[in-house]
Chains A and B, each alone.
Chain A
Amino acid sequence: AQRVTQPEKLLSVFKGAPVELKCNYSYSGSPELFWYVQYSRQRLQLLLRHISRESIKGFTADLNKGETSFHLKKPFAQEEDSAMYYCALSGWGGKLIFGQGTELSVKP
Protein backbone atom coordinates (compact mmCIF):
# COMPACT_ATOMS: atom_id res chain seq x y z
CA ALA A 1 0.00 0.00 0.00
CA GLN A 2 1.13 3.53 -0.68
CA ARG A 3 1.59 5.49 2.49
CA VAL A 4 3.50 8.47 3.82
CA THR A 5 4.18 8.83 7.53
CA GLN A 6 5.28 11.94 9.35
CA PRO A 7 5.64 10.88 12.97
CA GLU A 8 5.83 14.35 14.49
CA LYS A 9 2.74 16.49 14.56
CA LEU A 10 4.59 19.44 16.04
CA LEU A 11 8.25 20.32 16.10
CA SER A 12 9.34 23.31 18.12
CA VAL A 13 12.88 24.66 17.93
CA PHE A 14 14.73 27.87 18.70
CA LYS A 15 16.05 30.13 16.00
CA GLY A 16 19.46 28.99 14.80
CA ALA A 17 18.94 25.39 15.88
CA PRO A 18 19.09 22.52 13.39
CA VAL A 19 15.83 21.10 12.16
CA GLU A 20 14.92 17.65 10.89
CA LEU A 21 11.38 16.81 9.87
CA LYS A 22 10.94 13.09 9.46
CA CYS A 23 9.18 11.36 6.61
CA ASN A 24 8.91 7.66 5.86
CA TYR A 25 7.11 6.14 2.95
CA SER A 26 5.75 2.86 1.70
CA TYR A 27 5.55 2.36 -2.06
CA SER A 28 5.94 -0.62 -4.35
CA GLY A 29 7.89 0.91 -7.16
CA SER A 30 10.10 3.89 -7.78
CA PRO A 31 8.58 6.73 -5.81
CA GLU A 32 8.87 10.39 -6.45
CA LEU A 33 8.93 12.32 -3.21
CA PHE A 34 8.23 15.92 -2.41
CA TRP A 35 8.15 18.30 0.47
CA TYR A 36 5.41 20.92 0.44
CA VAL A 37 5.11 23.89 2.75
CA GLN A 38 2.00 25.79 3.76
CA TYR A 39 2.53 29.12 5.44
CA SER A 40 -0.26 30.60 7.47
CA ARG A 41 -3.20 31.57 5.24
CA GLN A 42 -1.34 30.75 2.05
CA ARG A 43 -1.69 28.03 -0.53
CA LEU A 44 0.34 24.88 -0.49
CA GLN A 45 3.60 25.30 -2.35
CA LEU A 46 6.36 23.01 -3.42
CA LEU A 47 9.49 23.24 -1.33
CA LEU A 48 11.60 20.61 -2.99
CA ARG A 49 11.49 17.30 -4.82
CA HIS A 50 13.94 14.47 -4.56
CA ILE A 51 14.73 14.20 -8.25
CA SER A 52 16.07 17.73 -8.41
CA ARG A 53 18.41 17.27 -5.43
CA GLU A 54 18.41 21.00 -4.79
CA SER A 55 18.43 23.14 -1.70
CA ILE A 56 15.58 25.60 -1.27
CA LYS A 57 15.58 28.20 1.50
CA GLY A 58 18.40 26.22 3.11
CA PHE A 59 16.37 23.02 3.25
CA THR A 60 17.62 19.73 1.86
CA ALA A 61 16.18 16.25 1.74
CA ASP A 62 17.82 13.02 0.68
CA LEU A 63 15.94 9.97 -0.44
CA ASN A 64 17.12 6.90 1.47
CA LYS A 65 15.64 3.88 -0.25
CA GLY A 66 17.09 1.47 2.30
CA GLU A 67 15.31 3.21 5.14
CA THR A 68 12.41 4.35 2.92
CA SER A 69 12.87 7.84 4.28
CA PHE A 70 12.95 11.37 2.91
CA HIS A 71 13.72 13.53 5.92
CA LEU A 72 13.81 17.31 5.54
CA LYS A 73 16.74 19.10 7.12
CA LYS A 74 17.96 22.61 7.71
CA PRO A 75 21.09 23.40 9.69
CA PHE A 76 19.92 26.73 11.14
CA ALA A 77 16.20 27.36 11.52
CA GLN A 78 14.76 30.83 10.99
CA GLU A 79 11.55 32.25 12.40
CA GLU A 80 10.12 32.59 8.91
CA ASP A 81 10.42 28.83 8.50
CA SER A 82 7.46 28.40 10.86
CA ALA A 83 4.79 26.65 8.80
CA MET A 84 3.11 23.32 8.11
CA TYR A 85 5.30 20.90 6.19
CA TYR A 86 3.91 18.00 4.23
CA CYS A 87 5.83 15.12 2.79
CA ALA A 88 4.16 13.66 -0.29
CA LEU A 89 4.61 10.76 -2.65
CA SER A 90 3.62 10.64 -6.27
CA GLY A 91 3.10 7.87 -8.73
CA TRP A 92 2.30 8.60 -12.35
CA GLY A 93 0.09 11.44 -13.37
CA GLY A 94 0.24 13.92 -10.54
CA LYS A 95 -1.78 12.11 -7.89
CA LEU A 96 -0.22 12.86 -4.53
CA ILE A 97 -0.38 11.00 -1.26
CA PHE A 98 0.36 13.26 1.66
CA GLY A 99 1.72 12.60 5.09
CA GLN A 100 -0.11 13.91 8.12
CA GLY A 101 1.96 17.05 8.20
CA THR A 102 4.37 18.49 10.75
CA GLU A 103 3.92 21.93 12.19
CA LEU A 104 7.29 23.59 12.58
CA SER A 105 7.45 26.36 15.13
CA VAL A 106 10.67 28.36 15.29
CA LYS A 107 10.92 30.47 18.40
CA PRO A 108 13.06 33.60 18.69
Chain B
Amino acid sequence: GAVVSQHPSWVICKSGTSVKIECRSLDFQATTMFWYRQFPKQSLMLMATSNEGSKATYEQGVEKDKFLINHASLTLSTLTVTSAHPEDSSFYICSVAGGGGSGNTIYFGEGSWLTVV
Protein backbone atom coordinates (compact mmCIF):
# COMPACT_ATOMS: atom_id res chain seq x y z
CA GLY B 1 0.00 0.00 0.00
CA ALA B 2 0.90 3.66 -0.20
CA VAL B 3 3.49 4.91 2.23
CA VAL B 4 3.02 8.57 1.41
CA SER B 5 -0.27 10.22 0.59
CA GLN B 6 -0.88 13.64 -0.90
CA HIS B 7 -4.10 15.59 -0.92
CA PRO B 8 -5.64 16.92 -3.02
CA SER B 9 -4.65 15.03 -6.16
CA TRP B 10 -5.65 18.00 -8.23
CA VAL B 11 -6.90 21.46 -7.51
CA ILE B 12 -7.97 24.44 -9.56
CA CYS B 13 -7.84 27.85 -7.95
CA LYS B 14 -8.32 31.44 -8.98
CA SER B 15 -5.37 33.73 -9.44
CA GLY B 16 -4.59 35.56 -6.23
CA THR B 17 -5.94 32.91 -3.88
CA SER B 18 -3.95 30.50 -1.73
CA VAL B 19 -4.04 26.74 -1.89
CA LYS B 20 -2.78 24.16 0.57
CA ILE B 21 -1.39 20.73 -0.33
CA GLU B 22 -0.94 18.07 2.32
CA CYS B 23 1.64 15.32 2.47
CA ARG B 24 1.15 12.50 4.95
CA SER B 25 3.55 9.79 5.92
CA LEU B 26 1.35 6.77 6.55
CA ASP B 27 3.72 4.08 7.73
CA PHE B 28 6.33 5.83 9.79
CA GLN B 29 7.20 9.06 11.49
CA ALA B 30 9.13 11.40 9.25
CA THR B 31 11.19 14.19 10.70
CA THR B 32 12.08 15.26 7.19
CA MET B 33 9.96 15.52 4.09
CA PHE B 34 10.83 16.99 0.73
CA TRP B 35 8.77 19.05 -1.70
CA TYR B 36 9.43 18.91 -5.42
CA ARG B 37 7.93 20.66 -8.37
CA GLN B 38 7.61 19.07 -11.79
CA PHE B 39 6.57 20.72 -15.03
CA PRO B 40 5.11 18.44 -17.72
CA LYS B 41 7.75 16.16 -19.23
CA GLN B 42 10.44 17.84 -17.20
CA SER B 43 12.52 16.87 -14.23
CA LEU B 44 11.65 17.18 -10.58
CA MET B 45 13.13 20.24 -8.96
CA LEU B 46 13.63 20.20 -5.22
CA MET B 47 11.87 23.18 -3.71
CA ALA B 48 12.47 22.73 -0.02
CA THR B 49 13.23 20.37 2.81
CA SER B 50 10.52 20.29 5.42
CA ASN B 51 11.77 19.76 8.97
CA GLU B 52 9.42 18.74 11.76
CA GLY B 53 9.21 21.38 14.43
CA SER B 54 11.48 23.87 12.70
CA LYS B 55 11.69 26.08 9.64
CA ALA B 56 11.89 24.58 6.21
CA THR B 57 15.08 24.84 4.22
CA TYR B 58 14.45 26.32 0.78
CA GLU B 59 16.48 25.76 -2.34
CA GLN B 60 18.02 28.68 -4.12
CA GLY B 61 15.50 30.60 -6.16
CA VAL B 62 12.45 29.33 -4.28
CA GLU B 63 10.50 32.09 -2.54
CA LYS B 64 9.80 31.06 1.02
CA ASP B 65 7.03 33.63 1.40
CA LYS B 66 5.37 32.29 -1.72
CA PHE B 67 5.60 28.63 -0.84
CA LEU B 68 4.88 28.27 2.85
CA ILE B 69 5.80 24.95 4.39
CA ASN B 70 4.56 23.75 7.73
CA HIS B 71 5.70 20.47 9.27
CA ALA B 72 3.80 20.49 12.52
CA SER B 73 3.78 16.78 13.18
CA LEU B 74 5.86 13.73 12.36
CA THR B 75 3.34 12.55 9.81
CA LEU B 76 2.16 15.72 8.11
CA SER B 77 3.78 18.45 6.06
CA THR B 78 1.79 21.08 4.20
CA LEU B 79 2.76 23.28 1.28
CA THR B 80 0.72 26.44 0.83
CA VAL B 81 1.04 28.32 -2.42
CA THR B 82 0.15 31.87 -1.51
CA SER B 83 -1.32 34.42 -3.89
CA ALA B 84 -1.17 31.88 -6.67
CA HIS B 85 -0.54 32.93 -10.24
CA PRO B 86 -0.87 30.94 -13.47
CA GLU B 87 2.89 30.40 -13.57
CA ASP B 88 2.55 28.46 -10.30
CA SER B 89 0.53 25.85 -12.15
CA SER B 90 2.54 22.67 -11.86
CA PHE B 91 2.73 19.18 -10.41
CA TYR B 92 3.86 19.21 -6.80
CA ILE B 93 5.30 16.06 -5.28
CA CYS B 94 6.41 15.28 -1.76
CA SER B 95 8.73 12.55 -0.62
CA VAL B 96 9.70 10.92 2.61
CA ALA B 97 12.91 9.11 3.43
CA GLY B 98 12.39 5.86 5.29
CA GLY B 99 14.95 4.92 7.89
CA GLY B 100 17.93 7.04 8.82
CA GLY B 101 21.04 8.41 7.17
CA SER B 102 22.15 7.88 3.62
CA GLY B 103 20.88 4.85 1.75
CA ASN B 104 17.25 5.44 2.75
CA THR B 105 14.37 4.14 0.78
CA ILE B 106 12.61 7.21 -0.53
CA TYR B 107 8.89 7.15 -1.02
CA PHE B 108 6.99 9.60 -3.16
CA GLY B 109 3.48 10.86 -2.87
CA GLU B 110 1.18 10.53 -5.83
CA GLY B 111 1.55 14.22 -6.56
CA SER B 112 -0.85 17.13 -6.68
CA TRP B 113 -1.77 18.94 -9.86
CA LEU B 114 -2.29 22.64 -9.33
CA THR B 115 -3.92 24.73 -12.01
CA VAL B 116 -4.23 28.45 -11.41
CA VAL B 117 -6.76 30.20 -13.63
Contacts and interface: CB of A to CB of B under 8 A. Distances in A.
B partners with A: yes
Interface of A: 32, 34, 43-46, 51, 84, 86, 90-101, 103
A35 B49 CA distance: 21
Interface residues of B, number: 24
Nearest to B49: A95
Given A32-B102, A45-B108, A46-B106, A94 B95 contact: yes
B93 A100 contact: no
Majority SS of interface residues in chain B?
strand
B69 interface: no
A98 B32 CA distance: 18
B101 A93 contact: yes
A94 B104 contact: yes
Interface of B: 32, 34, 36, 41-46, 49, 93, 95-97, 101-106, 108-111
28 contacts: A32-B103, A43-B93, A43-B108, A43-B110, A44-B93, A46-B105, A46-B106, A51-B103, A90-B106, A91-B102, A92-B101, A92-B102, A93-B32, A93-B97, A93-B101, A93-B102, A94-B96, A94-B97, A94-B106, A95-B46, A95-B49, A96-B34, A98-B36, A99-B43, A100-B43, A101-B41, A101-B43, A103-B41
A86 B106 contact: no
A101 B42 contact: yes
